[in-house]
């Protein structure tokens, strides 16, 4: 469906409540925001991309697929015959212990790493073997929110978010500032528009990184450990943003996380990597019910249960 801005029924609130001040109202605000109709922002963010009509289901077809992907670093096989798909509009959570290749999988999808074996498709297009120029086209559709935010240190919050808009061109300064205002409001950074990234907390930097990722108008957003090193309230807020992007704008997301509660809230499907292999790929419910001992251990181990002295 080509977007017709007169028909857009999706949108985002102008601002979110400050979670530090009113954590209990955040989930209400997130729920209510689903009903907010703001055609302008949806059009601003999505341009001519497909957007969801109210109550409309997203047609399911693979937006991302890995097929029999293996990747070696030297002698070490880090990914071993990994296959999975993510349908358009769905959220895949990649889970697994440290060092199993979760971040490597995301970097492959961005074209930063090239696996020796296997096929990786984005909306049907094979990307393994694409030139850097071809990959740049893919990175307009697939963007990544890095663990450290990867913001430009010498640019303010506002300028960081404006960067992809300026790079893309086609908007005058007023339009750029309007979209920037909305995006930083969306992620709750509208009180620090002129701050430099170094002066912000990790959670704030990550929120700004999400705003900057959205400014590039992607169809797929990859998040590497969005909730590590932030407090539970910020984690919930980031989760709310990711969820809203999916519900309202039909974004496809891949979220790498250790945080099972976060995964349970967001995931349509789960990829569980163990020793480089896809030990599980399927719906969240089946994952939670899996008898696989490695999965059970992952689900039930309490990191804070210390051995008795």
| Size of the residue set binding Mg ion (CB under 5 A) | 1
Task: Tell me phi and psi for residue 63, to 5 degrees.
Answer: -90, -40
Q: Which is nearer to ligand ATP, 212 or 274 (CB)?
A: 274
Q: Which is nearer to ligand ATP, 93 or 165 (CB)?
A: 93
CB of 134 to ligand ATP, least distance (A): 21
CA distance 52 to 124: 21
Look at residue 19 and give the partner it binds from Mg ion, ligand ATP, none, a contact being a CB closer than 5 to 8 Å depending on partner kind: none
C-alpha distances (whole Å) from 292 to each of 95, 134, 175, 270 are 14, 40, 52, 14
For tokens 């907010």, what's the residue? 36
The window from 44-52, 93-101, 231-239, 287-295 that contacts ligand ATP (CB under 6 A) reads: 93-101
Look at residue 216 and give the partner it binds from Mg ion, ligand ATP, none, a contact being a CB closer than 5 to 8 Å depending on partner kind: none
| Size of the residue set binding ligand ATP (CB under 6 A) | 10
Query: Of these, 45, 100, 165, 235, which contacts ligand ATP (CB under 6 A)?
Result: 100
Q: Does 188 bind ligand ATP (CB under 6 A)?
A: no
Q: Which of left, alpha, beta for 8 (phi over 0: left; psi -120 to 50: alpha)?
A: beta
Q: Which is nearer to ligand ATP, 99 or 283 (CB)?
A: 99
**Contact call for residues 197 and 208 (beta carbons, < 8 A):** yes
141 SS3 class:
helix
Q: Does 112 bind ligand ATP (CB under 6 A)?
A: no
Longest dimension (CA), the chain: 67
Q: Report the DSSP pairing between strands 62-73 and 76-87.
A: antiparallel
Q: Does 269 bind Mg ion (CB under 5 A)?
A: no
Q: Does 78 bind Mg ion (CB under 5 A)?
A: no
CA distance 224 to 11: 25
CA distance 59 to 201: 38
272 SS3 class:
strand
Query: Of these, 101, 188, 203, 218, which contacts ligand ATP (CB under 6 A)?
Result: 101
**Contact call for residues 122 and 64 (beta carbons, < 8 A):** yes
Q: Which is nearer to ligand ATP, 249 or 279 (CB)?
A: 279
Query: Of these, 43, 104, 127, 245, which contacts ligand ATP (CB under 6 A)?
Result: 104
Q: Which is nearer to ligand ATP, 146 or 287 (CB)?
A: 146
CB of 98 to ligand ATP, least distance (A): 3
Q: Which is nearer to ligand ATP, 78 or 216 (CB)?
A: 78
Q: Report the DSSP pairing between strands 277-283 and 269-274.
A: antiparallel
Q: Does 103 bind Mg ion (CB under 5 A)?
A: yes
Locate 87 and state its tokens. 């349908």
Locate 15 and state its tokens. 């601002």
Look at residue 104 and give the partner it binds from ligand ATP, Mg ion, none, a contact being a CB closer than 5 to 8 Å depending on partner kind: ligand ATP
For tokens 């297009």, what's the residue? 125
For tokens 């697939």, what's the residue? 142
Q: Does 205 bind ligand ATP (CB under 6 A)?
A: no
The window from 8-16, 91-99, 209-217, 300-308 that contacts ligand ATP (CB under 6 A) reads: 91-99
Give the binding site for Mg ion (CB under 5 A).
Answer: 103
List of residues contacting ligand ATP (CB under 6 A): 73, 78, 96, 98-104
């Amino acid at each position: 469906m080509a977007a017709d801005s007169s028909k857009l029924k999706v949108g985002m609130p102008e601002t979110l409540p400050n979670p530090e001040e009113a954590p209990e109202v955040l989930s209400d605000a997130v729920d209510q925001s689903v009903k907010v109709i703001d055609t302008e922002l949806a059009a601003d963010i999505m341009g001519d991309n497909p957007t969801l009509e109210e109550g409309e289901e997203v047609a399911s077809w693979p937006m991302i697929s890995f097929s029999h992907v293996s990747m070696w670093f030297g002698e070490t096989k880090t990914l071993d015959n990994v296959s999975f798909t993510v349908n358009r509009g769905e959220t895949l959570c990649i889970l697994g212990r440290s060092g199993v290749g979760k971040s490597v999988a995301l970097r492959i999808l961005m074209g930063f790493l090239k696996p020796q074996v296997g096929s990786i498709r984005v909306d049907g297009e094979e990307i393994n073997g694409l030139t850097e120029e071809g990959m740049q086209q893919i990175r307009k559709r697939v963007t990544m929110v890095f663990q450290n935010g990867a913001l430009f240190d010498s640019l303010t919050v506002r300028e960081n978010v404006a960067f992809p808009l300026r790079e893309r061109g086609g908007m005058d300064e007023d339009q750029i500032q309007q979209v920037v205002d909305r995006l930083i409001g969306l992620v709750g950074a509208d009180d620090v528009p002129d701050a430099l990234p170094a002066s912000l907390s990790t959670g704030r930097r990550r929120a700004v990184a999400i705003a900057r990722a959205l400014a590039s108008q992607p169809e797929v957003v990859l998040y590497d450990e969005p909730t590590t090193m932030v407090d539970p309230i910020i984690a919930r807020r980031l989760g709310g943003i990711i969820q809203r992007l999916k519900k309202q704008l039909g974004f496809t997301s891949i979220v790498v996380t250790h945080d099972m509660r976060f995964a349970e809230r967001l995931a349509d499907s789960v990829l569980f990597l163990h020793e480089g292999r896809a030990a599980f790929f399927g719906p969240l419910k089946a994952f939670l019910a899996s008898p696989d001992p490695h999965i059970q251990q992952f689900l039930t181990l309490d990191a804070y249960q210390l051995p008795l002295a």
